[in-house]
Every structure is written in C-alpha cells, then in structure tokens.
Amino acid sequence: QSVLTQPPSVSGAPGQRVTISCTGSSSNIGAGYHVHWYRQLPGTAPKLLIYGNSNRPSGVPDRFSGSKSGTSASLAITGLQTEDEADYYCHSYDSSLNDYVVFGGGTKLTVL
Amino acid sequence: QVQLVESGGDVVQPGGSLRLSCAASGFTFSTYGMHWVRQPPGKGLEWVAFIRSDGSNKRYADSVKGRFTISRDNSKNTLYLQMNSLRAEDTAVYYCAKDVAAATVDYFDYWGQGTLVTVSS
C-alpha cells in the first residue's frame, strides 16, 4: 500500500464542498515536508493543482485550496463542478525510505 | 509553452529491454531536474527515477534499481529511460515529469502525455 493514505473515493453534488485527506507519518508530512496535489482527468496525464501545501499555480481557480497540519494534509474543493470529476493524488517526500518520492494511492472524486 | 513528449513504449516479452525517450521544449531543459513516474493500468502513480539537471546525480525506486537507467542529453533536450530485465509488473504508462528545481527533488510542474509499456509473452 501507499506511504501516504487517501480515501479511495469521495463524492458530492454540484455546488457542494468536498475535502480529500492525505495521511502520512513523522517521516514525511509530519517531518515538515511539503505536500503537493495533482489532478488526473480520465485518460489524461496528471496536472499540478496545489504545491507547497497551499499554493495554487497560475490558472488554477481559487475553488481549490490545500492545507497541512501535523501528519496530514487536505485538499478542499468548493463549488463542485461536473468537470472536477477526476482522480486526485497527494505527493510528498519521505526521509526514511530510499523511494523518497511518495504518492498517495489516489482519490476518485465523483460529482453526483 | 512547456511540452514533454514521450515515445518508445511498446509490447515486450519478459526479460526484454526497451528505451523510452522524452523530448522537451518550451523551457531551458538543462536547468531542471527530471523524473520518470509510472502508472500501472487502473492503479495509482509510482515514482521511478530522478536525474539532476546536469546528470551528475541519479536516484531510483527500489523496484527498478539495477534494471533501469535514467539519462539525459541536454544538447538534444531529451530525457531517456533504459529499461532492462523487464517484468510483468513493469507494465504501465510511463510519464516524464519536470521538477521545479535543478538539483533536488521538489514537485512536478509539468508532465508529458505518457507512453504505454506492456510486458507480456
């Protein structure tokens, strides 16, 4: 299983707010390493959504926000739109592993 | 605009070899670290390898160490992944991804469209 734990799926209705959690440990998120988020639309490559825990690249709407506390991080999406239906992955660094680049297992967001 | 275009994916038998390429454009390739990340069919992302901007430092996931080699040709703006002793579990879409840093691993700001490697007899 993945070093970073995400729920396999979340869902929400258009206009609602959803959050996706990313739980790590003292050797990754809890050690102070940044968390980044990527969105993967069906059949396409991942795309950067949030970097450095809470920063949005240009072009990413402010409906998307990230936060980090302790050994966990969260991605929040407000004003859900049908085009938000995608897979979301968190990413961080782990100092205890040789595979120091670690991803969460991914969360499938379904917009009902 | 930044473009990363992978090529070289194919169907190969177990134990075989394959070389993937990633042609970069739209940025100064020689000043950024680069990665390969793979995604088995229907599964999540797995980091494979990293190479520093000047090629002097390389890191590999344990699952591919000793079998895969990452390299780059900054004169051709191209990243490579030489894959030997391929196994069924290496079947995946392979993405090249650009790091925002030159010498350390940070995060991936651009990804290619991916190339499919299928290991099967």
pLDDT digits (tens, 9 = 90+) for A2-61: 899 999 999 999 999 999 999 999 999 999 999 999 999 999 999 999 999 999 999 999
Cα–Cα distances in angstroms (integers) from residue B72 to residues A47, B8, B21, B66, B118, in the given order: 23, 15, 9, 18, 23
CA–CA separation, A103 and B88 (whole Å): 22
CB B119 within 8 A of CB B14: yes
Q: What is the nearest CA distance from B16 to chain A, expressed in angstroms?
A: 24
How many angstroms separate the CA of residue A99 from the nearest CA in chain B? Answer: 5
Q: pLDDT confidence of A96, banded at 50, 70, 90?
A: confident
Is there a contact between B40 and B87 (Cβ–Cβ < 8 Å)? no
Q: pLDDT 10s digit of each residue in chain B, 121 long?
A: 999 999 999 999 999 999 999 999 999 999 999 999 999 999 999 999 999 999 999 999 999 999 999 999 999 999 999 999 999 999 999 999 999 988 888 899 999 999 999 999 9
Chain A residue with CA closest to B43: the answer is A105
Q: Do A98 and B62 lie within an 8 Å CB cutoff?
A: yes
Q: Are B1 and B51 in contact (CB under 8 A)?
A: no
Residues from chain B contacting residue A51 (CB–CB below 8 Å): 100, 107, 109
Cβ contact, residue pair B47, A106, below 8 Å: no
CA B80 vs CA B18, B51, B87, B96: distances in Å: 10, 10, 19, 9
**Token pair recorded at residue B22:** 């990633």
